[in-house]
Structure 1
Amino acid sequence: MHREPGFSYPPISEPHIPRPFKPAQYIACRAVDDIVIDGALNESSWANAAWTSTFGDIFLIGYQKPFLATRAKMIWDDRYLYAAVELEEPNLIGHVVTRDEEIYYDNDIELFIDVDGDSQDYIELEFNCLGTIWDMFLPKEYNRGGIPHSHPRVEGSPPWDLEGMLVAVRMEGSLNYPHDTDKGWTIEMALPWESLQKTSRTGDILNRDGTMLRLNFSRVQHTWPKVWPIVDWKDHGNASYDWTWSQNLVYNMHSCESWGRVILSDRTVTQLPDPVIENAFAFVPAPVPEHLPKVGDMVRIKGGLYQIGPDAIDPDDSPQGTVTLNDFDIDRYQVTVSQYTTFLNAAEHGAFYGIDMANPDFCGIGEGADGSYEVVPGRELYPVTLITQEGALAFAAWAGKRLPTEHEWEAAARGTGARLYPWGEEPPDARHANFDYQVGHTTPVGAYEMGKTPEGLHDMAGNVWELCNERWRPYAFTGEAPEPRSSDWIVRGGSWVTPVANMAATYRNARKGAFCAMVGFRCARDA
């Protein structure tokens, strides 16, 4: 990750109201003529389609703006979803010519598509300037133990192709010739609706007005030295970059809930846009907490037999079972920015602090003139984010507590009656929780009174994912526990960006603990 020169966050003394964040959004209109996939983009439909915004850094504000321009546009008809990407490139370079090889060792463009928006059964497509393709189907994200379907490069990976896909590339310059300056390359593709439809879990018809696809483009750019021949294609010798259409808020393209939104419109590219679709996904105001939360307060969860699962999204690895738990206590609220700041000032300086915690929209902890940590005014009662697993563990130990186990977390969220959501069986809406970018940022802990559990726990759904003290592995209710299938730590409960499909208290996720704008934690302790 590369900092923008001269960038700094606002002074700590300035009170801050968070600015809502929305993933990139694009309205794909109908084509008005037949599209020939040749990389030229010379049809009237392409001429009238809008370009996306220029791609930016994958992570957060404050990171270096791309030094090469990338932009895309999309259109559709009854047979295909079409996408085109234009890439500025002064040094056209590439060597992978075999389908389904690891194309990202070349400079490439990648397209990720989740037609249902539930982080399941999604597609990853990779292309280099030679037009070589690597197409993959992922039943679930890698961090939840997912294994890609492609042509077997990974053990257990069954073959898969996006049937009927058409791709063409046009280069403007000289390939693999470092002694001149090239202009770039354009890629054009047609993705058959019939093939995309097969990845839908809901079965909803995709090629119709109003369909919303979760989608993101990623440009992997290596700064190759201008020498030839290249001896080791895996040794780029310089920095590499990941530029995306929609910011992912975590350095991980396989965070599907962070992708942008593409909305299909029945209006053609030559017609005025539909104002209803243009204004889709408007922000809703955050609720005002009914009372000042007593942070640090804990709730006793009685021991006994608890139902765990099934995770309806992933029933094979997360089936229903029962566990016996002892009495334990768990924090009534998620750990706040104020609490974590107090801990940072008691801990070894800098050991559990990241510079982006100063971002007042996502966290709000900065360094004062004397080197101590201070809260940005107004951020005291927001949940802390951009933490590491080590920081959460250290905070818990400092507070005389620990992180909950995954089973403890689910028992606390569902109770002895195994309710589907922390508050009961009613589906989530804006009265219950902060999710799916409705507010556009985290909210103060305890703001959703209707979303608390009968036992009095707040924000067990939405706001921030909550770290547990174990790594993702399939459930095993009898016999020896399987080895973790992921190096990532379990997180539960959903966050301010999580789609409604993944808000059930049974849903299991995992995230790398470091520096994610959607992950926080609460603590537990033995009774």
Structure 2
Amino acid sequence: MFALPLLMAAPPTAPVNPPVPRGYVAFKATTPPTIDGKLDDAVWAAAPWSEDFADIEGFDKPAPKYRTRMKMLWDDRALYIAAELVEPNVWATITEHDAVIFHDPDFEVFLDPDGDNHMYAELELNARNMTWDLLLTKPYKDGGTAVNAWEIRGLKTAVAVDGTLNDPRDTDRGWTVEIAWPWAGLKELTAAAVPPADGDHYRINFSRVEWDVDVKAGKVVKVPNRPEHNWVWSPQGVIDMHRPERWGEVQFSTKAAGPVAFRPDPARAVKDRLHDAYYAQHAYRARTGGYTAAADLLKLRPDPSGVPTLEATPRAFTASLKAPAAAGGKTWVLDQDARLRAE
């Protein structure tokens, strides 16, 4: 028998005091918007704007320099997304589909309809309306890979620039985005109802990448050795968008307009508790070489949701916890790759 090494690779970093995920109620569109990037269709008036985006790490970080907000609608064919990005100097250099779009300033959508943390979608686009759509088998921290060859079937996107693209001589107002994401482009990812029913929830988040720039010889150039800014709708608590458990939620309503109250996931506390155990297990394995079935060794913080039941081998584990009847009464299970499921 070969002995396991005592020290493993650095464990996934747990979010620090992550905020409660945000929620949004998406109303059903009476007519589909025209996807031209301009947001002037009358149907958009029924959709409220989201809260302003915040720093990816949380509300205790400095507020973003420029405003970003989004809104959503849906019908039996597609999910519709609109976004407004205030920007005094709109620029974009990437001109190829499926390039690494966030090397430009961009707008990003992350979508996991069944909320299992695996098989989720990401879409990025820049101010030239160049897109990168990719499928994530599981989060990068869990060894997931990005399937760049995956394409969102029937996707339509458009961008409108309020100003002049790539001309730093004047002051722009920003750019707006419109997206029609057909349900047909999601069915292969999920066991959730597609299209959704009234009251259904999908896990979703939005991100804006912004770069510090200078103007040299009439062109915009990035300031060397500065990381990007990450401004998001629902803060993650860590600089990593690939933590689906920290995303916000969209609640679908068959009404054409509000008010409709957002109802947070009643099992959120149980799921968060399981993710506490997930991060503790990975930290334990990094110290000792294996996972444990002894919850007391993980030194979990006290929580009214209870102590998860653990099963473990040196290289795999499950953590399970039953939700109270008021939260659906299901037993939720999370494994070493962060896959979440109900039993």
Return the TM-score normalized by structure 2. Answer: 0.77
Do the aligned partners of 2:19 and 2:58 also contact (CA within 8 Å) in 1? no
Deviations 1:469-502 (A, max 9, x none): x9xxxx6xxxxxxxxxxxxxx997489xxxx999
State whether structure 2 residue 97 is matched by structure 1 residue 113.
Answer: no
2:260 corresponds to which residue? 274
Distance 1:252 1:502 in 2: 28
Distance 1:89 1:203 in 2: 37
Distance 1:502 1:109 in 2: 36
Question: Superposition pairs for residues 385-404 of structure 1, below 5 Å?
Answer: 403-404=287-288
Deviations 1:418-460 (A, max 9, x none): xxxxxxxxxxxxxxxxxxxxxxxxx9527556x465xxxxxx5
Question: Superposition pairs for residues 124-523 of structure 1, below 5 Å?
Answer: 124-150=122-148, 159-200=149-190, 202=191, 204-228=193-217, 230=219, 236=224, 238=226, 240-269=228-257, 272-275=258-261, 278-281=262-265, 403-406=287-290, 408-409=291-292, 411-412=293-294, 444-445=301-302, 447=304, 451=307, 493=319, 503-504=332-333, 506-509=335-338
| CA RMSD of superposed structures (Å) | 3.7
TM-fit CA distance, 1:169: 0.5
The verdict on how the C-alpha distance between 1:183 and 1:72 changes in structure 2, with shifts beyond 3 A counting, is: same
**Sequence identity percentage:** 33
SS at match of 2:333: coil
Distance 1:46 1:247 in 2: 25
TM-fit CA distance, 1:199: 1.1
* Larger strand fraction of residues: 2
SS at match of 2:115: coil
SS at match of 2:245: helix
Distance 1:176 1:116 in 2: 40
SS at match of 2:102: helix
Distance 2:308 2:225 in 1: 52
Return the structure number with greater relative CO, CA threshold 8 A, min gap 6.
Answer: 2
TM-fit CA distance, 1:507: 4.0
Larger Rg: 1
Distance 2:168 2:268 in 1: 52
Deviations 1:6-26 (A, max 9, x none): xxxxxxxxxxxxx99420100
Do the aligned partners of 2:101 and 2:124 also contact (CA within 8 Å) in 1? yes
Distance 1:73 1:261 in 2: 13
5+ residue gaps, structure 2, are 1-16, 271-275, 322-328
* One-letter amino acid matched to 1:163: R
Deviations 1:120-160 (A, max 9, x none): 1111101000000011011111111111111xxxxxxxx21
TM-fit CA distance, 1:279: 3.4
Distance 2:320 2:125 in 1: 32
SS at match of 1:403: helix
Do the aligned partners of 2:76 and 2:195 also contact (CA within 8 Å) in 1? no
TM-fit CA distance, 1:43: 1.6
5+ residue gaps, structure 1, are 1-18, 151-158, 287-382, 397-401, 414-442, 454-459, 462-467, 476-489, 511-527
Do the aligned partners of 2:18 and 2:58 also contact (CA within 8 Å) in 1? no
Distance 2:305 2:49 in 1: 39
Distance 2:334 2:97 in 1: 40
